[in-house]
């Protein structure tokens, strides 16, 4: 199979879809790999390393899409790429269709085979291709939240960990999944007072067992959320419903009850966000303020740490890319029920029903 690795062109997206190590494995399996020039530069992987691994370097993104039977990316194609995608071409990347109707319609019109990292499942129902980026984003959410609590960027002027004689900041985390647990580890490690909410008692029991004493678990409902947003300094949105739009757990009216200069980091922005006032931002212009509350909702948070993120992502995606290349997409999906769950759109048809529900197309 001919596999193309284009350079990511989303705003400040510095990751790359495959490392030279991944290219080496594909070439070893008798596939041809074409990498766009400088695609890996920002992640620390130069063209020379890809050539040594057996790849062919092409100058333009148009050449990559034109020659490839399968495209391996990081983020969803953006508008400039829509016309480059061919009928029957496999696109293996993060899509997050439920948050973008224009993207969904464009991929349907293209006739491509869209296999989404974020809905591939393992035998336990986990999300093996989403987990590493959720780990990165969960940890980054505390770094960014701590930064934007500083006064020069309109935050409360609060040091999250406090100092002797001064109490630490309070962090409220919505969701005890991968994002929430990683955020809790980072925040508690800084010395903050952490409250983590979920509706799954098994997750809360697990969190209670493994997190330190400065982390409190709480069942998630609207009453508890309304009460706690009033007293916390940093709120992390880490709620995920597989393939679906995230629920709005914090509504616009709640903002007026929060502390002036409090910060919301909505990691769920890729799936529409779990805060009503969330809108996607970029690393170039990451925040906006509504009702004196700082909102940070960068849709590709791990793109700011591309070396770590690219390695973490390709550690888990490469074996799936090899399977698809070796067997062809139909046989690969038929042989692996978890990979089959990754098929969101196929040749003009929506396969993943949650997308239809997200846009209410069934009606």
**DSSP character string of 132-173:** HHHHHHHHHHHHHHHHHTSGGGTS----TT-BTTBPPPEEEE
User: pTM of the entire structure?
Assistant: 0.90
Are 49 and 193 in the same domain? no
Helix, coil or strand: residue 267: helix
Q: What is the pLDDT of residues 116-174, one digit of tens each?
A: 999 999 999 999 999 999 999 999 999 999 999 999 999 999 999 999 999 999 999 99
Are 241 and 332 in the same domain? no
Number of structural domains the chain divides into: 2
The active-site residue, picked from 198, 233, 266, 270, is 270
- Cα 176 from Cα 186, distance rounded (Å): 14
Are 103 and 154 in the same domain? no
- DSSP letter assigned to residue 191: T
Q: Give the mean pLDDT of the chain.
A: 96
> What's the CATH code of the domain at 37?
3.40.50.720
Helix, coil or strand: residue 199: coil
Both structure tokens of 28: 């070893």
Are 300 and 167 in the same domain? yes
The active-site residue, picked from 31, 96, 232, 295, is 96
- Cα 258 from Cα 55, distance rounded (Å): 53
**DSSP character string of 32-84:** EEEEETTTTGGGT--HHHHHHHT-EEES-HHHHHHH-SEEE-SSPP-HHHHTT
Q: Is 31 a known active-site residue?
A: no
Q: Is 96 a known active-site residue?
A: yes
Last residue of a domain, one of 276, 304, 332: 304
* Helix axes 178-190 and 131-148, enclosed angle (nearest 10): 40
Q: What is the pLDDT of residues 71-111, one digit of tens each?
A: 999 999 999 999 999 999 999 999 999 889 999 999 999 99
Q: What is the longest distance spanned by two Cα atoms in the chain? A: 64
Domain that holds residue 7: 2-126+306-359
């Amino acid at each position: 199979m001919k596999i193309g690795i284009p350079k990511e062109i989303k705003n400040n997206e510095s990751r790359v879809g495959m490392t030279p190590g991944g290219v080496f494995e594909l070439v070893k399996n008798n596939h041809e790999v074409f990498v766009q020039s400088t695609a890996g530069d920002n992640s620390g992987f130069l063209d020379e390393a890809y050539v040594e691994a057996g790849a062919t370097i092409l100058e333009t993104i148009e050449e990559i899409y034109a020659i490839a039977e399968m495209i391996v990316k990081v983020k969803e194609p953006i508008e400039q790429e829509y016309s480059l995608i061919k009928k029957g071409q496999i696109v293996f990347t993060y899509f997050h269709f439920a948050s973008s109707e224009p993207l969904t319609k464009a991929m349907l019109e293209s006739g491509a085979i869209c296999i989404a990292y974020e809905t591939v499942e393992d035998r336990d129902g986990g999300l093996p291709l989403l987990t590493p980026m959720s780990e990165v984003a969960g940890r980054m959410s505390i770094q960014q939240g701590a930064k934007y609590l500083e006064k020069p960027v309109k935050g409360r002027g609060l040091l999250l960990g406090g100092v002797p004689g001064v109490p630490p900041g309070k962090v409220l985390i919505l969701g005890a999944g991968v994002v929430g647990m990683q955020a809790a580890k980072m925040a508690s490690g800084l010395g903050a007072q952490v409250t983590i909410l979920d509706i799954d008692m098994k997750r809360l029991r697990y969190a209670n067992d493994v997190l330190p004493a400065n982390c409190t678990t709480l069942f998630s409902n609207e009453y508890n959320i309304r009460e706690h947003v009033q007293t916390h300094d940093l709120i992390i949105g880490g709620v995920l419903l597989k393939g679906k739009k995230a629920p709005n757990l914090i509504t616009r009216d709640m903002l007026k009850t929060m502390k002036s200069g409090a910060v919301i980091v909505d990691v769920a922005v890729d799936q529409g966000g779990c805060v009503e006032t969330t809108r996607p931002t970029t690393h170039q212009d990451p925040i906006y303020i509504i009702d004196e509350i700082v909102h940070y909702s960068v849709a590709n948070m791990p793109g700011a740490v591309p070396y770590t993120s690219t390695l973490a992502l390709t550690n888990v995606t490469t074996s799936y890319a090899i399977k698809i290349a070796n067997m062809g997409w139909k046989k690969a999906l038929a042989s692996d029920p978890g990979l089959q769950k990754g098929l969101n759109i196929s040749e003009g048809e929506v396969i993943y029903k949650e997308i239809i529900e997200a846009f209410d197309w069934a009606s």
